[in-house]
Structures are given as C-alpha cells and as structure tokens.
C-alpha cells in the first residue's frame, strides 16, 4: 500500500498555493491576499457544537482583525452548500452574521496543510495558520477535536508578530508579561564591547536581558 505524503508547511515557508471555492466565491490563496496578513483556520465539521462556538468567537473579534489589516478565512472538508446553510443557521438561530469566507476544501487541500485528523476519517484538525503580507507562514497552532481554540490568543499572536517585525521580540504573555509588561526585548549583544554598553543604553536584568519601551 502506497504511503500518502503530507507536505505541511513549516514556519517561514511560503504558504502553499490553493485554488478553492468559498462561501464568498472562488479564491486563490495566498495570491488574492498578498500584501495582507491573514489567519486561515480549519474546523472538523459544520453543524457541530464546538465549531459553532469557535465561529461565533472569531466573528465577535472580526473588527479587531480588520484593524490589524488581517483577514479571516475558515476551512473544512464540508461542501460549500453545507457551509452556506450553516452560516444561515448561525444567523437565524444565534443572530450572528459570519462575515469572513469559509473554504470548501478537499482532501488534496487538507493534505497540503497537514490538516486531516489521524484516525478521524475526513475530519480536519483545528489548525490555525497566521500568514504575513509576504505569504510566509509565521505561526501554526493545532488543537484536537475535543478542545476549542482561544481566539484572544490568535488576536494577540497577530499583534505580537506585527510588533516583533518592527520593534523586537515580545515576552511571554505580551502585553501583560510578569516581568516587563508590554516592553520590548532588545536582542542580546553579540560581542563583549556591546555587552558592556547594554546597561547604559537600556533597562536590563543583565547584559543579555535588556528591554525598552513599546513604541505606540
């Protein structure tokens, strides 16, 4: 029996080219989104309780993602008419309008992203891909079927990546780190002369752990 190879992207890789059908019409991903951040997240199946809570949670934060110039895209193996009916159900029964597109993926698309759940048939894992304006994969999260995602962490991750690209590394739990709050970590010195000057230039715990104010 021939083994099926999963070519899932790794951090820093180009996001694979996908031509897909969505609830908003055909899309080329990432081509149609080049120049923007986007979050593509998969769910196991339409008309399931945990996935419904996730979609409502993502939609609740839709404006936050828009302010970050970051697009949301959902995805599962369900056919597009199922997505449409589910979105209609969420609107009619929960009074929440899903404003982002949902991809009707096939097995080929899911395999490119490593999203088929082992031992779960065609169900897709709860994957999250954060992709930057250069179409590079910057962050990947995977959750099992039984555990819903924390959307505040997805928002925080996008903000943190955008800040890190411009200002430097961010600490655990940023912007509410236990040691330095929302301050930015300065890259460690790479030679003795720079190390000696670090404490004169920044606030430091030591020469290798210095930090500076967040630029607003």
pLDDT at position 188 over 60: yes
- Contact between residue 90 and residue 55 where contact means Cβ atoms under 8 Å apart: yes
pLDDT at position 203 over 90: yes
Domains and CATH numbers, the chain: 18-148 (3.40.30.10), 169-212 (3.30.1020.10)
Q: Which of 51, 70, 204, 210 is catalytic?
A: 51
**How far apart, in whole angstroms, are the C-alpha atoms of residue 102 and residue 114?**
18
* Reported confidence tier of residue 122, pLDDT bands at 50, 70, 90: low
pLDDT recorded at residue 93:
98
pLDDT at position 168 over 70: yes
**Token pair 């962050």 is at which residue?**
139
**Between these two residues, 215 and 5, which has the higher pLDDT value?**
215
Can you list the alpha helix ranges (DSSP code H) found in 98-212?
A: 107-112, 151-167, 192-201
Report pLDDT digits (tens) over 56-105.
Answer: 999 999 999 999 999 999 998 889 999 999 999 999 999 999 999 999 98
User: If you compute the radius of gyration of the chain from its CA atoms, what whole number of angstroms results?
Assistant: 20
Can you list the alpha helix ranges (DSSP code H) found in the chain?
A: 49-60, 62-67, 80-94, 107-112, 151-167, 192-201
Instruction: Write the DSSP symbol of residue 47.
Output: S
**How far apart, in whole angstroms, are the C-alpha atoms of residue 136 and residue 9?**
10
pLDDT recorded at residue 214:
96
pLDDT recorded at residue 77:
85
* Reported confidence tier of residue 206, pLDDT bands at 50, 70, 90: very high
Other Cβ atoms closer than 10 A to 169? 14
Considering the entire predicted model, what is its pTM? 0.91
* Reported confidence tier of residue 111, pLDDT bands at 50, 70, 90: confident
Q: Is 51 a catalytic residue?
A: yes
pLDDT at position 2 over 60: no
Report pLDDT digits (tens) over 11-48.
Answer: 999 999 999 999 999 999 999 999 999 999 998 889 99
């Amino acid at each position: 029996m021939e083994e099926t190879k999963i070519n899932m992207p790794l951090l820093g890789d180009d996001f694979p080219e996908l031509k897909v059908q969505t609830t908003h019409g055909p899309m080329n991903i990432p081509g149609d989104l080049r120049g923007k951040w986007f979050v593509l997240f998969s769910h196991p199946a339409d008309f399931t309780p945990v996935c419904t809570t996730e979609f409502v949670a993502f939609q609740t934060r839709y404006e936050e993602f828009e302010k970050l110039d970051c697009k949301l895209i959902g995805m599962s193996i369900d056919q597009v008419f199922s997505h449409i009916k589910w979105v209609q159900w969420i609107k009619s029964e929960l009074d929440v309008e899903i404003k982002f597109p949902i991809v009707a993926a096939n097995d080929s698309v899911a395999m490119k992203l490593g999203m088929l759940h082992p031992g779960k048939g065609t169900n897709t894992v709860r994957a999250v891909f954060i992709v930057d304006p250069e179409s590079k994969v910057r962050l990947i999260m995977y959750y099992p079927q039984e555990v819903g995602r924390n959307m505040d962490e997805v928002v925080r991750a996008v903000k943190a990546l955008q800040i890190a690209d411009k200002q430097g590394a961010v600490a655990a739990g940023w912007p509410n780190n236990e040691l330095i709050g929302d301050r930015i970590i300065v890259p460690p010195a790479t030679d003795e002369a720079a190390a000696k000057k670090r404490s004169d230039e920044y606030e430091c715990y030591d020469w290798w752990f210095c930090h500076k104010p967040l630029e607003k």
